[in-house]
Chain A
Amino acid sequence: MHVSLTPEESAFRDEVRAFFRDEVPRDIHDKQARHIALEPEDQVRFQKILYEKGWAAPNWPVEHGGTGWTLVQKHIFETEMANSNMPRIVPFGLGMVGPVIYSFGNDEQKQRFLPDILQSNVWWCQGYSEPGSGSDLASLKTRAELDGDEYVVNGTKIWTTLAQYADWIFCLVRTSTGTARKQEGISFLLIDMQTPGVSVKPIITIDGSHEVNEVHFENVRVPAANLVGEEGKGWTYGKVLLQHERTGTAGVARTQYRLRQLRDQAGQSVRGSEPLCKDRNFMRRIAAVEVELKALEYTELRTLAAVSAGKAPGAESSILKFKGTELQQAVDELFVEAAGYYALPYVPEQYAPGFPDDQRIGAGTETDSASHYFNFRKASIYGGSNEIQKNIVAKHVLGL
């Protein structure tokens, strides 16, 4: 066992670093640095650049467009992407429905959907949660009844992230009631958002942004060919996907990057008689989070090593999810603290494209700290709440 990179790995790291620096357009770098939200077109443009390079889906099998990288290479890629302050990949296509389709879909579905996912031609969203079914997802009620060679879908999905841009939605739907276990009546269905009867209603979150939605289905007719795998097996497929999702949400590299940014900011911002970096209370807390992040980085590497040795991500991925989000949120809190009074101004206009930097209230991006903190309270709720993750670990890891 050793931590240092081999010469080949170092060369790979340099290649990745140079790629993000040189091949990703300046305006995307600039928006990221100034906390300007990317337009959907920017996001797609970025993902297409990765596709052109062959790097859109490192975790996919090679035959479907994956990279065939080693675990270490994947780790280097993630880390460099975070260190270069690149946008997050929108996970719904590349991270979620793609793996379900290549694992459980038929050949026709693979040909029809995977290339567009890989190339970011189609924007996907995830329709799992419902008003009455959040943590207890298996109780979901959205009905899909077979009528000839079509399913007729009725029901409501909620908290659907970025559905306002989506071309397609993958849903867990109930295809039969009265099964012995409620999980057994659930199927995995792909639905074109343009189908008559689909409507999207925005939900504004506490930070004032529009990320999530309600998606209503009223007698939506969906070709039976859009069913992935077998009827009644959707729960099993969905669970596989959730474990992938949880592994992905640890976001260690990104949190480490943000913590370094905070350290820099603390060195610069003179507040009071001295810069904040002279405040031992504050710097000790940065150091404490840093230690925990390093531990989580290695917990993640251990989990991924097991996965690449052929094991499915197991209940341990739950640890990555709740610990990762706790640390992410701890860093958000520190940013708010660092901003002092300048955490208060709520001026979303100054994070719109074209707003002159010298007219911003507060220094740098400190007035974005509270909105970010508020928004990321979601991280311990979505993807299966942290309480649910701990229940999973208690049951499946500890055997309680």
Chain B
Amino acid sequence: MDFSLSEFQGMLADSVGKFVDNEYSFARRMANADSSTGYGEDTWASFCELGWTALPFPEADGGLDGGPLETMLLMQQFGRGLVVEPYLANIVLAGGVLCRAANAAQKARWLQPIIAGDLQAALAIAEPQNRYDHAAVETRAVRDGDTWVIDGKKSVVFNGGNADLFVIPAESDGISLFALASDTPGIDVQRYRTVDGSTAADITLSGVRVDDGALLGAAGEGLATFDAVIDDAILAVAAEAVGIMQALTDKTVEYCKNRVQFGVPIGSFQALQHRMVDMLTASEQSYSLLLWATMACADRTDEAKRAVSAIKYQVGTAGKLVGQEAIQLHGGMGMSWEVDVGHYFKRLTVIGQILGNADWHLDRLLD
């Protein structure tokens, strides 16, 4: 057991932290979220220059060979800064599938441009009927001569409205993973904003016809990849949630030190002090569990699978507490769009809703 960071990890955490502190003000974040894409294209270009879009990929694929720990360090800072750019969708989700399942030609065609920032991508996780059971795929891919015909619906695809490339899991005697250009005939994209200031889309596939060049890995054998990528994504959003909880706790303590009512700072009321101690505890407990879960996955221990469910349960429940208390202790100010805490709270809420909520993962722990 060793909690120390390598030199590379230290530099990474430092550089992402500095970016968030110096270049990514709340005003910038809101302007990026308000733009037509829902993220800052300049900001995304900076991520590429800084090498962050290459972080989790092997050197052979032009990556920096990072693993779960490196992603954690980055996402925790992104959480602290409430970064709205589609890192999860492009790099962790779509990139994660391509990196694991694509062949060399496919990587050259799709993964390299994602890393370079020339291509926006999205992985379809949910379907209207399957709630959190991502493996219960009803979208079907049927073989027809040399081609595949894909039909189905995908729900709330993160970054789906911006994506040039969709990674689509479909049922064909097991799950097959397809990479589809978003302008392929038969794909209908209904794009919308999401409550956390980001964007997503519902996608309908009707008789979408592609050849084997679109198939990532072997037909019917995509579930292991899909599962592994979902686990990576859970760790990533958990790290983001921990960064958000730390930020909300700090901001709330700061606010309560300065807000004066009844002639004293409201932070002097014990009723509120205990609540802030509870926020800190929830946030610290989540950070501890995050370290365990991330290391368990990085070291591929037997506990890795359970650790993923444990941390998602933890950030779901702790995130709700911290988010709600942050609003409450800010009083009316917490309800205002102009103030950042409400937006942190909304992102925490979204993290609680995706990739399996707290109940879902607690059930997994009973299995």
Q: Which residues of A are in contact with B by a Cβ distance under 8 Å?
A: 129, 132-136, 139, 158-159, 203-206, 208, 212, 270-273, 276, 279, 281-282, 333, 336-337, 339-347, 361, 363, 370-371, 373-374, 377-378, 380-382, 385-387, 390-391
The answer to whether A347 touches B192, judged by C-beta atoms less than 8 angstroms apart, is: yes
The answer to whether A273 touches B346, judged by C-beta atoms less than 8 angstroms apart, is: no
Please measure, in the bound complex, the distance between the C-alpha atom of A135 and the C-alpha atom of B333, giving whole angstroms.
13
The answer to whether A342 touches B155, judged by C-beta atoms less than 8 angstroms apart, is: yes
Given contacts A272-B136, A344-B350, contact A206 B343 (CB under 8 A): yes
Given contacts A206-B345, A272-B130, A346-B195, contact A381 B332 (CB under 8 A): yes
B1 lies within 8 A of chain A by Cβ: no
Of A279, A342, A371, which is within 8 A of B156 by CB?
A: A342
The answer to whether B133 touches A203, judged by C-beta atoms less than 8 angstroms apart, is: no
Of B155, B190, B324, which is within 8 A of A341 by CB?
A: B155
Chain B residues closer than 8 Å to A276, beta-carbon distance: 131
Nearest-neighbor residue (CB-CB) of B357 within chain A: A337
Please measure, in the bound complex, the distance between the C-alpha atom of A208 and the C-alpha atom of B334, giving whole angstroms.
13
Chain A residues closer than 8 Å to B298, beta-carbon distance: none
The answer to whether B136 touches A273, judged by C-beta atoms less than 8 angstroms apart, is: yes
Given contacts A272-B131, A371-B195, A377-B328, contact A387 B156 (CB under 8 A): no
The answer to whether B359 touches A377, judged by C-beta atoms less than 8 angstroms apart, is: no
0 or 1 for each of B112-153: is its CB under 8 Å from A? (1 = yes)? 000000000000001011111100100000000000000000
Most buried by B among A159, A203, A336, A341: A341
Given contacts A204-B336, A343-B353, A373-B349, contact A271 B130 (CB under 8 A): yes
Given contacts A270-B129, A371-B195, contact A381 B155 (CB under 8 A): no
The answer to whether A374 touches B331, judged by C-beta atoms less than 8 angstroms apart, is: no
Please measure, in the bound complex, the distance between the C-alpha atom of A382 and the C-alpha atom of B333, giving whole angstroms.
12
Dominant secondary structure at the B interface:
mixed
Q: List 20 A-B contacts (CB under 8 A).
A: A135-B331, A136-B263, A205-B335, A206-B327, A206-B335, A206-B337, A212-B332, A273-B133, A281-B362, A341-B126, A341-B131, A343-B350, A344-B196, A345-B194, A346-B195, A361-B202, A371-B195, A377-B327, A386-B328, A387-B328
B261 lies within 8 A of chain A by Cβ: yes
Chain A residues closer than 8 Å to B133, beta-carbon distance: 272-273
Please measure, in the bound complex, the distance between the C-alpha atom of A336 and the C-alpha atom of B324, giving whole angstroms.
14
B219 lies within 8 A of chain A by Cβ: no
The answer to whether A374 touches B195, judged by C-beta atoms less than 8 angstroms apart, is: yes
The answer to whether A203 touches B194, judged by C-beta atoms less than 8 angstroms apart, is: no
B262 lies within 8 A of chain A by Cβ: yes
The answer to whether B336 touches A206, judged by C-beta atoms less than 8 angstroms apart, is: yes
Closest beta carbon of chain A to B312's beta carbon, Å: 14
Q: Which residues of B are in contact with A by a Cβ distance under 8 Å?
A: 126, 128-133, 136, 155-156, 190, 192-196, 200, 202, 260-263, 266, 269, 271-272, 320, 324, 327-328, 331-332, 334-338, 342-343, 345-346, 349-350, 353-354, 357, 359, 362-363
The answer to whether A135 touches B261, judged by C-beta atoms less than 8 angstroms apart, is: yes
Chain B residues closer than 8 Å to A270, beta-carbon distance: 129
Chain B residues closer than 8 Å to A378, beta-carbon distance: 335
The answer to whether B262 touches A135, judged by C-beta atoms less than 8 angstroms apart, is: yes
**Known pairs A203-B338, A205-B337, A337-B353 / 13 extra A-B pairs, C-beta < 8 Å:** A133-B261, A135-B261, A135-B262, A136-B263, A206-B327, A206-B336, A272-B132, A361-B190, A361-B192, A374-B345, A380-B328, A381-B327, A381-B334
Nearest-neighbor residue (CB-CB) of A344 within chain B: B194
Please measure, in the bound complex, the distance between the C-alpha atom of A200 and the C-alpha atom of B342, giving whole angstroms.
23
Given contacts A344-B200, A344-B350, A345-B192, contact A271 B336 (CB under 8 A): no
Given contacts A272-B130, A273-B136, contact A344 B195 (CB under 8 A): yes
Nearest-neighbor residue (CB-CB) of B126 within chain A: A341
Chain B residues closer than 8 Å to A390, beta-carbon distance: 271
Closest beta carbon of chain B to A81's beta carbon, Å: 27
Chain B residues closer than 8 Å to A346, beta-carbon distance: 192-195
Most buried by A among B195, B328, B336, B338: B195
The answer to whether B194 touches A136, judged by C-beta atoms less than 8 angstroms apart, is: no
Nearest-neighbor residue (CB-CB) of A210 within chain B: B337
The answer to whether B200 touches A345, judged by C-beta atoms less than 8 angstroms apart, is: yes
Please measure, in the bound complex, the distance between the C-alpha atom of A271 and the C-alpha atom of B196, giving whole angstroms.
23
Closest beta carbon of chain B to A203's beta carbon, Å: 6
Closest beta carbon of chain A to B203's beta carbon, Å: 12
Chain A residues closer than 8 Å to B193, beta-carbon distance: 345-347
Nearest-neighbor residue (CB-CB) of A136 within chain B: B261
Nearest-neighbor residue (CB-CB) of B264 within chain A: A136
Chain B residues closer than 8 Å to A386, beta-carbon distance: 328
Please measure, in the bound complex, the distance between the C-alpha atom of A362 and the C-alpha atom of B320, giving whole angstroms.
24
The answer to whether B195 touches A387, judged by C-beta atoms less than 8 angstroms apart, is: no
Nearest-neighbor residue (CB-CB) of A378 within chain B: B335
Of B136, B202, B328, which is within 8 A of A381 by CB?
A: B328
The answer to whether A385 touches B363, judged by C-beta atoms less than 8 angstroms apart, is: no
